[in-house]
Amino acid sequence: MRDYLLTLCVTAAVTYLLTGPVRKFAIATGAMPEIRARDVHREPTPRLGGIAMFFGLCAGLLVADNLQNLNAVFERSNEPRALLSGAALIWLIGVLDDKFELDALIKLGAQMIAAGVMVMQGLTILWIPVPGAGMVSLTSWQGTLLTVALVVITINAVNFVDGLDGLAAGMVCIASAAFFLYAYRIWYGYGIEAAAPATLFAAILIGMCVGFLPHNMHPARIFMGDSGSMLIGLVLAAGAISVTGQVDMDALKIFEGSARQATHAALPVFIPLLLPLTIIAIPFADLVLAVVRRTWNGKSPFAADRGHLHHRLLDIGHSHSRSVLIMYFWSALIAFGVVAYSVHSASMWILLLVVGLSAVGLVLLLLPRFTPRAPLWAQAFVPPRYRRRSWRQKERTGAGGTDTARDATGPEGGADAAGAPEPEPVPAGVNGATALSAHSHSQDRPKAGSRR
């Protein structure tokens, strides 16, 4: 676990440190497209954040190759090299798209070529687990077709959800964290070494997203662009393909008494068929709804609009940050719920917990004006809008929730406005000029607790 954490931290550090220079490079090269009608940001923001994420990926693979416990992944498998080859190709196409706005068909062709490059180097689905039938081997063309389809769908699902600041990076980070726990359990829990590459890919992907998120949270200073969204989508798909096509469920018979018991105990092995779908469940549902909506209105399915799920959250009254957090919540609930169920499939409390959290999520979804308040011990760790107001602040606040003193005196606190405080009495024996000077200084000097 320490080696995986070291790889994750190095990847995150390299991504974080390079994002600042990449932002300056994007501004210098003009990779700042004009604001479109469907965009939610108000100022042109540079793209090309995927450059920092790609070099973070390279750094993570380089560190893992030089660690004693992870070097075996590179010696016994060609999957890390296949991932790097496909990632380099898709990243290059993404950089060109961020700068020159490539056609959608060109990007689709590049995605298929990148998936084909990984298949040629061994990163492909060889068999799939089927409940009741065990492992079903696939022919060469079947495995290639299924691999390419999974890569293309995952890349476009991640690219599709990249509509709000921090949304895509956060959702992929949550998904890769759940996938890391699943793959790590298969690797060290069952001793199946074929799950080691998928575990490494998930750890590196977490680092890429964690390193980029501080620059991408609202208000974002830089966007990952297609160079980043397609890259993390490909890495996410590569991990799912690796653990699905290489882990043999029949190996679990060594630990179980019969084939039937092995099939029941192998529920985690069936998860690769479900976990990638649960990871992209929200963006895939958004994709299907968009195609149906646009087709119903007589438009092209590829015509952009403002009808996506995150746009709808904004339209019903949720703030930008809360819309992102709601999407995070549902992604985490689905991904971690599936992983938890794979560990304790016979436990009813997992199902009850998921149902309860779903009810909480629905309440938060339907109450966009509700603002939660953090407890007193967490006041220093949350944004100001989630802090509890003290009684002094409440006394200065009117019915509309604004500071009445400031509203009465204006933004500069002028004493001539209606409702301004009376000047302090001047002691006897002080001439008019001195009194005026003293009053003037008392107005310029801020009082205790002043908001100036």
What are the binding residues for Mg(2+)? 159, 226
Cα dist from 100 to 25, 204, 363, 403, whole Å: 15, 29, 43, 49
How far is it, in rounded angstroms, from Cα 80 to Cα 350? 35
- Token couple for 65: 């190759």
Place of tokens 């196409």: 93
How far is it, in rounded angstroms, from Cα 408 to Cα 421? 10
Query: Is the C-alpha dihedral spanning 61, 66, 68, 74 positive or negative?
Result: positive
How far is it, in rounded angstroms, from Cα 328 to Cα 175? 10
Query: Is the C-alpha dihedral spanning 435, 440, 444, 449 positive or negative?
Result: positive
The β-bridge partners of 4 are none
Q: 204 with 3: CB under 8 angstroms?
A: no
Q: Annotate 233-267 with b (16+ C-beta within 10 A) or e (fewer).
A: bbbbbbbbbbbbbbbbbebbbeeeeeeeebbebbb
